C-alpha cells in the first residue's frame, strides 16, 4: 500500500538486510540465537512464521519466528561503537536515544557518549555547547531538516556517523515523490516520536503534510476532505500536526499516505483504505487515480516479520505472554497490543522486572505506568509461555528472561538437552 520505489532500490535493500554487523558480543545470544539460526537455515525463504516450541518439561516456551535486533538497529549499534573507537579524546554525542532500549543506551553512555536530547526533544546539552570538532551521531530514527541544517552551519560532519535506517529514508523518498507530484502527504505516526518528527520535517520540505495518529484522526480528517466541518475547527483539531500554510479546502484534493515504519500494519492499511474511500465519495471512483496516490505499505521488513510472527503466536494455547523491549519502543508496543488480544501479557524491559515466581513488575502501555502483578506464574503443568521482543531488544535479554523463569522449575530439562533439537 504505501511506497512504491524503484526495483533497483528494492534489490539494494534486500542486499543490505543480509549484511553481518560487527556489534559487541554481549548482545549476541547463545540460546535464542541458536534457535533463530536453525529456523533461518530451514526456512531461507521466510515462509514459515509459526513459533518454535521449546519444551523444558514443566515449562514450555513459544518463541516467535522473528524478533529482536533488525538491520537498522544493528547498523546503528555498529556505527555508534565505531564512532567511540575512532574518536578517542573527542566528545561524542548522540542526538537522542540511538534506539529505544535502556540497556543499549546505558552501555553507550557508560563508554562516554552523551545524549543531546531526550526522546521528546528536551535538551540535556544546549546547541551552543556543540562545537565543530564534536562528533554527533544521528540515530536510527533519523532527524529533522532543521537539526541537520543547524549542525551543518556549525561545521559538524553529520554524514560520517549517520545511522538513519534505510527503510526510514525510503519513506522520505516516497514522501518527496508525492510532494513533487502535488499530493498532500498524510503521515500515519505518533506525533511525538522521533521518526515521525523527522519524517514530517522531510515531508513538509517537499509538500503539504499532516500527521494522523490513528483511525480517529483519519475519520476527523475525512470531515475536512468532504467539507463537512468548518476550516477553523481543522486548525484546532490538528494543531501542531500540519505543515505551514496548510489550507484544508485546497490541500486535501490530492493525497497520499506514508507512515512511521513501526506502526501496526493493519491499522496503516485501514487508515489508507478509509481515506481512499473518502476521496471516492467526494470525487467518484472514475477519478480516484487523480486524487489518491495508490502507494503500498512502508513498514520495514523487520516490523512486518515481527508482526506476522506475533499473529502466529496468537494461535497457540499459551497461558500468558511476555514481551521484552523498551517502554518507549513503538514497534514493541504494537506487539504487546496484539498479544493482549489473546493472553495475559507482561511488557517488561529486562529480566530484572521478574522479582520471583510470584511477582512481576511490568509496564501498562496504554496507561503509561508500571504495575506489579502477583501471583505471576499460574500453577499449571506444563506452563506455556509466549516469549518475544521488539526490534531494539538484544537477544541476550530474551535469554536472561527465559533462564530466570526456568530457574523457578527445578525439574526442568537442561538447556543443552533442549537445544539439541535445534542444530
Q: Are 264 and 334 in contact (CB under 8 A)?
A: yes
Helix 166-180 and helix 71-86, axial crossing angle in degrees, nearest 10: 110
**Separation CA 92–CA 177 (nearest Å):** 35
SS3 381: coil
Neighbours of 352 (CB within 10 A): 13
Q: What are phi and psi of 324, to 5 degrees?
A: -110, 135
Stretch (H or E) spanning 61? strand 59-63
Q: What are phi and psi of 177, to 5 degrees?
A: -65, -40
Residue (of 351, 361, 368, 362) closest to 408 by Cα position: 351
Sequence-distant (6+) residues with CB within 8 A of 113 are 80, 83, 84, 92, 93, 94, 137
| Cis ω for the linkage preceding 382 (within 30 of 0) | yes
176 labelled catalytic: no
Q: Pick the catalytic residue: 74, 148, 195, 353? A: 195
Catalytic residues: 195
Amino acid at each position: 500500500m504505501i511506497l512504491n520505489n524503484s526495483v533497483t532500490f528494492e534489490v539494494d535493500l534486500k542486499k543490505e538486510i543480509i549484511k553481518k554487523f560487527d556489534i559487541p558480543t554481549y548482545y549476541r545470544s547463545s540460546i535464542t540465537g541458536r534457535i533463530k539460526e536453525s529456523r533461518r537455515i530451514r526456512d531461507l525463504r521466510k515462509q514459515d512464521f509459526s513459533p518454535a516450541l521449546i519444551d523444558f518439561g514443566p515449562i514450555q516456551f513459544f518463541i516467535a519466528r522473528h524478533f529482536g535486533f533488525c538491520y537498522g538497529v544493528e547498523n546503528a549499534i555498529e556505527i555508534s561503537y565505531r564512532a567511540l573507537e575512532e574518536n578517542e579524546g573527542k566528545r561524542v554525542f548522540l542526538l537522542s536515544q540511538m534506539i529505544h532500549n535502556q540497556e543499549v543506551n546505558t552501555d553507550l553512555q557508560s563508554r562516554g557518549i552523551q545524549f543531546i536530547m531526550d526522546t521528546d526533544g528536551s535538551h540535556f546539552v544546549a546547541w551552543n555547547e556543540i562545537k565543530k570538532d564534536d562528533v554527533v551521531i544521528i540515530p536510527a530514527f533519523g532527524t529533522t531538516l532543521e537539526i541537520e541544517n543547524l549542525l551543518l552551519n556549525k561545521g559538524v560532519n553529520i554524514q560520517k556517523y549517520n545511522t538513519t535506517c534505510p527503510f526510514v529514508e525510503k519513506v522520505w523518498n516516497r514522501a518527496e515523490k508525492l510532494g513533487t507530484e502535488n499530493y498532500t502527504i498524510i503521515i500515519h505516526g505518533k506525533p511525538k516520536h522521533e521518526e515521525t518528527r523527522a519524517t514530517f520535517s522531510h515531508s513538509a520540505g517537499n509538500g503539504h503534510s499532516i500527521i494522523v495518529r490513528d483511525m480517529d484522526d483519519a475519520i476527523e480528517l475525512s470531515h475536512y476532505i468532504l467539507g463537512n466541518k468548518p476550516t477553523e475547527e481543522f486548525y484546532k483539531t490538528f494543531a501542531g500536526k500540519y505543515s505551514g500554510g496548510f489550507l484544508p479546502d485546497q490541500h486535501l484534493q490530492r493525497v497520499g499516505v506514508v507512515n512511521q515504519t513501526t506502526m501496526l500494519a493493519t491499522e496503516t492499511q485501514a487508515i489508507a483504505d478509509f481515506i481512499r474511500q473518502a476521496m471516492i465519495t467526494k470525487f467518484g471512483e472514475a477519478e480516484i487515480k487523480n486524487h489518491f496516490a495508490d502507494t503500498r505499505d512502508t513498514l520495514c521488513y523487520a516490523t512486518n516479520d515481527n508482526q506476522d510472527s506475533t499473529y502466529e503466536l496468537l494461535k497457540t494455547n499459551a497461558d500468558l505472554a511476555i514481551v521484552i523491549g523498551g517502554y518507549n519502543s513503538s514497534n514493541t508496543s504494537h506487539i504487546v497490543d496484539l498479544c493482549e488480544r489473546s493472553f495475559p501479557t507482561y511488557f517488561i524491559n529486562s529480566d530484572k522486572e521478574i522479582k520471583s515466581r510470584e511477582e512481576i513488575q511490568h509496564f501498562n502501555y496504554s496507561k503509561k505506568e508500571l504495575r506489579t502483578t502477583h501471583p505471576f506464574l499460574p500453577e499449571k503443568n506444563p506452563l506455556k509461555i509466549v516469549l518475544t521482543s521488539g526490534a531494539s531488544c538484544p537477544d541476550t535479554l530474551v535469554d536472561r528472561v527465559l533462564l530466570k523463569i526456568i530457574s523457578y522449575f527445578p525439574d526442568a530439562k537442561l538447556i543443552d538437552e533442549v537445544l539439541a533439537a535445534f542444530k
